[in-house]
Structure 1
């Protein structure tokens, strides 16, 4: 079975992309694909390098059984476009930044994370950083739906052939 690698990307890598990283990691492990799917997250900006996810993000995730304590913020780097099979942005602004950084041979790897949850009727995972606690719960709702859709897509395309 081919190994697959996924990179989740938001702006600072302390709220949305680590949430996606942790939720998807748990889903992948529960499905028994932990040895074939590699997961990471990064930010387009260097605001929080080396920091743990935002405490509100960790608290909301923990309330749903997802531990993010081991994750640390990092910035997208040029090598990521070769290392990862899927590079999934949380919103259009970060997608555009990824597009501008991506070499031509890797542009097919870029996508919007919520494209894997069309039934949610939302194109972007909103940044909860400046809002209240409900924003972090909304992020989790969207991320859980997209993570399910992403895993189903990976099963169809790569894992169950």
Structure 2
């Protein structure tokens, strides 16, 4: 993986509805970056606003809380135009959300938008699958993927 990362002080995690994958990434990355001694602004959002102001899906919370992550204060919101200026890195959970972000982002900010799993080291998946219509195992697998990509991203930021 040869990804150039400028100074990273803020990260936005993005999925479609901002109730499963991206809030899990926010919770996991917040804790892992705290443990690594990093001071980074972390948020999450969705490419659609259907769940605005809702808490993360209870199954996402359960899978994350079982591993020690807090979802305190996380509420769904839709990506807005200011996000592209504000955040140093905008990480999409899958190819469709990557395309959606690129289609609404000003061209000058496209370099900030990447797939989150580009930072994973132990999985071959390129996309974090949407666990919404599946069982508990899908939510646990999402946490596995997010933990791995978080570790990889933290390693890149620290180096």
TM-score range, shorter chain: over 0.9
Give the aligned partner of residue 41 of structure 2: 38
Query: What do the CA deviations read for 1:92-134 (whole angstroms, capped 9, x no partner)?
Result: 0000000001101100000000000143100000000000000
SS of the residue corresponding to residue 23 of structure 1 reads helix
* Aligned twin of 2:28: 23
Would you identify which runs of 4 or more consecutive aligned residues in structure 1 move more than 4 Å?
A: none
Asked whether the 8 Å contact 1:22–1:67 carries over to 2, the reply is yes
Report how far residue 3 of structure 1 moved: 6.1
TM-score for the superposition, normalised by structure 2? 0.94
Structure 1 pair 100–3 and aligned structure 2 pair: CA distance change class (3 A): closer
1:55 is aligned to 2:58: yes
Structure 2 unmatched ranges of 5 or more = 1-6
SS in 2 for 1:140: helix
**Shift in Å, 1:155:** 1.1
> Which blocks of at least 5 consecutive residues in structure 1 are unaligned?
157-161
Return the alpha-carbon distance in structure 2 between the equivalents of residues 147 and 79 of structure 1. 24
